[in-house]
Every structure is written in structure tokens, then in C-alpha cells.
Amino acid sequence: MTQSIVVQVGQCGNQIGCRFWDLALREHAAVNKKGIYDEALCSFFRNTNSRADAGGADVQRGRICSLKARAVIIDMEEGVVNEILQGPLRDLFDSAQFITDVSGSGNNWAVGHKLYGGQYRDQIVEKLRRTAEQCDCLQCFFVIHSMGGGTGSGLGTFVLNILEDEFPEVYRFVTSVYPSAEDDVITSPYNSVLAMRELTEHADCVLPIENQSLVDIVNKINQMTNCGKLGAVKPNSLVTSNIGGVKESEKPFDAMNNIVANLLLNLTSSARFEGPLNMDLNEITMNLVPFPHLHYLTSSLTPLYTLADVNVPTRRLDQMFSDAFNKDHQLIRADPKHSLYLACALMVRGNVHISDLRRNIERLV
Ligand SMILES: Nc1nc2c(ncn2[C@@H]2O[C@H](COP(=O)(O)OP(=O)(O)OP(=O)(O)O)[C@@H](O)[C@H]2O)c(=O)[nH]1
Ligand SMILES: [Mg+2]
């Protein structure tokens, strides 16, 4: 199995990254009850337990311990990073994985890209190299950042340049959060335009996410659960739910970030678990990117919750196929019904019959 490294940059990148690590750990703990350090865990985590060969990692409170995330954590402010260092995920990272400054980039792309980029280049290269050396077969970098701030957009895209220079063979997947129209950062449109040019030039694949879409999905789920329209929903099955709660109190972006973390969780599932129908991550770009620069992929997510009663699998699957092309399930504000797909990939997780998949694909085309 191959390995991937997550590079989380800026406030938004780190907050989403942490939700991803939390969910990934829980997912592994749910199927790997003994907490054995296996190939699946190796894809995104490394083991620090010296007894690894004898038995592997151990499990405590539903979480697998003695693991470190294959991640590089960058923020030019200390706030979010300090929260991580004091939070429940603190054991998942060691100090060698962090790069921080104190003042932040002041929502200015140029400060992140030009000033901090030049200043921190060597440190970033060194930390990336060290993380890469701990992999047997490094396949992908996942960069997570926002387009609206200064550090995520400026330094995040600078890191992308470094990755291209230093690791030209390794795929660069970027998850970019675009600001909503009501964004309180005045410079966010400028930062986004400047960052987008870099994404076009230096990424292999970009998953654009619009904050407004996330807000709409969160509102829709809240509305449906509040008015009891959903019937019996399986507890903690909402994509917005902060399962188990990393923090005691939920912060404003948490529900939105859970949606993005779920998207990444699903996208990487075939890299994180063995399966007969799995696909390689680089097959995504190989099959969906028609020209090198046309590498922006819109994404959608369904179901947004799981019903307690799972007795209607076929109908549910049909509904999920329809929902995947419904504008309410898109993570950017686009209506697939009024657009044209050049290529499309449907990733399905769970026990489904191939015949049901075929029937639905035929129904849709
Ligand atoms: N979805 C989501 N969006 C966020 C989050 N945090 C910030 N944003 C959005 O990201 C943009 C601001 O970028 P930040 O990530 O806060 O900025 P930064 O990269 O830390 O850069 P500086 O603070 O300028 O150094 C705004 O559009 C915010 O709405 C988050 O946790 N989730
Ligand atoms: Mg910041």
C-alpha cells in the first residue's frame, strides 16, 4: 500500500485537517478493534510504538494510540496550532511537524506567499523531506487551505510550488475553501484570484469547496432534523455531527468542516483500506482531467445522514445516485442539471450490488 502526507496551512486548513484526522482515527478504530498497526493504518499514520512488530498500537477510548499523523502543520499565527497542541489530538503530532510564526499574514496573499514564503522555505522543505522519508512509497500530498486569508492562500500556494520542485513525482491534491459572498475578510476576493493562478499552474487536482454551499448544507440538515422530517436518524450519522466531540463546545466552523472532512475521508478510503474494487488515487486525475490545467473537480456528498431504519437499501441507493447530481448536495454552488460534465466519477462505499450500480449509471446517462 502507498502513503500520503497531509499539508494543512492556515486557520481553515488546520481546522479542517484536524476534523479529518479525528474522523479517520475513529474510522480505523471501528474496524481495527485490536489496534494493530497494519497496512491500512500505515497509509496516513506512522507507528511510534517500539513493540510494533510484536503487536502494534493499542486502543484507548475507541481511539488507536501511539500513532503519529503523516502531516505537516503550518500557520503563521499561533492560535489554532496551540489549540491543537492542547486538544485531544495533541498526541497525534510531534513538535517536528509544526511551522508557526506569531503575527499571521493579515489576510494578505503577498505577505504569505512572498514574505513568509522566502523566510520559511528552508524549514518547510526540511519538514516535508523528513515526513517523506518516513514513507516507503509516497504517492500523494493533500494540501488543505482557504483561498480567502493570507497564510492559507499565499503560503499554501507557495508550499505547492515547493512540492512541485522537490517532489515532482508525487501527486498534489489540493482542497481549497472559497469564501462566501458575506465573507468578513475584505481582501478575500483578491487573495482568491492570486491563489487560483498558482493552483492552476502547480496542482495536479483541485477540489474547490465554497463556504456558502457548506452553510446551505448545514442549514438544510438543521432544518430537517428540527422539524422531524427525517424520521428516525441514526445518532451521530449526520455529516455535520462532531462525533464524540474533539472539543467540549462546538465552534462556528465545526459543522461545515465536518462536511469537508467527510469528503476527504471518502476520497481517501480506498487508499486507507484494502478492498477488491478499490481504485488508486492517481486514477482520479488520470481519468477525470482531460487537459493538465483543467484539473478543478466539483464534488458532491450523499447521504448527509443515515436513517436508523436501513431496510430500504435499493431505494436508498437509487435516491443517493439522484442526490449526487442534485444542486443541494454540491460542495460548490453549481447546478449539474444546467451544466455539462466532461467526466464524472462515482465513489460508493459500503455493501452494494454491482448490478444496482450498473442500473443506476444507465438510468443517469
Ligand atoms: N470552512 C471553513 N472556512 C474557514 C475556516 N476558518 C476560516 N475560514 C474562511 O477562510 C477565510 C480566511 O482564511 P483563514 O484560513 O482564516 O486565514 P489564514 O490562512 O489563517 O491567513 P491569515 O490569518 O491571514 O494569516 C475566510 O474566507 C473564512 O471564512 C474554517 O475553519 N472552515
Ligand atoms: Mg490565520
pLDDT digits (tens, 9 = 90+) for 126-163: 999 999 999 999 999 999 999 999 999 999 999 999 99
The pLDDT of residue 353 is 84
Q: Please write the tens of the pLDDT for every residue from 294-345.
A: 999 999 998 887 665 555 567 788 989 999 999 999 999 999 989 889 999 9
Q: Which ligand is nearest to the CA of 109?
A: 1
Nearest-Å Rg of the Cα atoms of the chain is 20
Q: Please write the tens of the pLDDT for every residue from 202-236.
A: 999 999 999 999 999 999 888 887 776 666 666 66
What are the domain boundaries of the chain? 3-308
Of all atoms in ligand 1, which is nearest to the CA of residue 209?
A: 1
Question: In sequence order, which residues have a C-beta less than 8 Å from that of residue 123 and are 6 or more positions away?
Answer: 99
Which residues lie at CB < 5 A from ion ligand 2?
11, 77, 104
Q: What CA–CA distance (Å, rounded) separates 292 from 282?
A: 13
Cα-Cα-Cα-Cα torsion 184, 189, 194, 197, nearest 10 degrees, comes to 130
pLDDT band, residue 351 (cuts 50/70/90): confident
Distance 102 CA to ligand 2 centre (A): 10
Pick the CATH number of 3-308 from 3.40.50.1440, 1.10.40.30, 3.30.420.40, 3.40.50.300: 3.40.50.1440
Pocket around ligand 1: residues whose beta carbon is below 6 Å from it? 10-12, 15-16, 75-77, 104-107, 146, 148-152, 177, 179, 183, 185, 188, 211, 214, 253, 256-257
pLDDT band, residue 365 (cuts 50/70/90): confident
The pLDDT of residue 310 is 54
Distance 104 CA to ligand 2 centre (A): 6
Question: Which residue has the CA at smallest separation from atom 13 of ligand 1?
Answer: 149
Q: Which ligand is nearest to the CA of 151?
A: 1
Distance 344 CA to ligand 2 centre (A): 34
Of all atoms in ligand 1, which is nearest to the CA of residue 179?
A: 27
pLDDT band, residue 54 (cuts 50/70/90): very low
Q: Which ligand is nearest to the CA of 103?
A: 1
The pLDDT of residue 159 is 98
The helix (run of H) or strand (run of E) holding residue 261 is helix 254-267
C-beta of residue 295 within 8 angstroms of C-beta of residue 330: no
Q: Record the cell numbers describing residue 212, joined without a space.
A: 456558502
Select from 36, 37, 44, 46 the least CA-distant residue to 20: 44
More confident position, 79 or 248: 79
Q: What CA–CA distance (Å, rounded) separates 146 from 144?
A: 7
The pLDDT of residue 248 is 53
